[in-house]
């Protein structure tokens, strides 16, 4: 591989991975999937040797785990805060719809708002509704930290693979 091709094979996936990693700040943005796709693209360009297959499997497991832990921690946080399962489901749906209606901020606004309003209508108590909403927000923050750590692991594993293939 020519030196300019090696540079492109390294830098293009790295840029996408950094976008994915820092995109995790936006709750509905599929940052781990973006990192995974960048690793897949890298593998398709440079080839999958034994080490590449092993590292790509680790990256894939990270993506799947990060996607599952996200929903689990947010829902668990809301549930610990007192939200009903129906409220949690509606909050998740509101978050997804909000992301499409108002990209970047819609999900961040609509999911907690849905939890707050539904729990208020269910309990007729703002204090109880706010407690459930705080639980969701705590779970959201915790899931961001876990997903960011998983994203760092995915990028770090890819760097090991990339340096073994490109440089």
pLDDT of residue 69: 87
pLDDT digits (tens, 9 = 90+) for 68-91: 887 788 888 888 998 999 999 998
Q: Residue 99 above 80 pLDDT?
A: no
pTM for the model stands at 0.81
Rounded CA separation 145/133 (Å): 19
pLDDT digits (tens, 9 = 90+) for 14-45: 999 999 999 998 777 889 999 999 999 999 99
pLDDT digits (tens, 9 = 90+) for 49-68: 999 999 999 999 999 999 88
Q: What is the DSSP string of 52-112?
A: HHHHHHHHHHHHHHHHHHHHHHHHHHHHHTT--HHHHHHHHHHHHHHHHHSTTTHHHHHHH
């Amino acid at each position: 591989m020519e030196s300019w091709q090696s540079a492109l094979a390294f830098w293009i996936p790295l840029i996408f991975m950094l976008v994915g990693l820092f995109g995790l700040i936006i709750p509905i943005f599929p940052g781990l999937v973006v990192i995974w796709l960048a690793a897949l693209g890298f593998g398709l360009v440079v080839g999958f040797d034994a080490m590449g297959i092993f590292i790509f499997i680790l990256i894939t497991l990270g993506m799947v785990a990060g996607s599952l832990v996200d929903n689990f921690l947010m829902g668990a946080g809301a549930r610990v805060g007192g939200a009903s399962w129906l409220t949690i489901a509606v909050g998740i749906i509101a978050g997804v719809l909000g992301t499409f209606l108002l990209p970047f901020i819609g999900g961040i606004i609509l999911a907690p708002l849905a939890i707050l309003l539904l729990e208020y209508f269910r309990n007729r108590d703002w204090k109880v509704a706010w407690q459930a909403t705080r639980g969701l927000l705590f779970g959201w923050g915790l899931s961001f930290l876990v997903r960011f750590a998983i994203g760092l692991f995915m990028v770090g594993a890819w760097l090991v693979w990339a340096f073994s293939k490109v440089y």
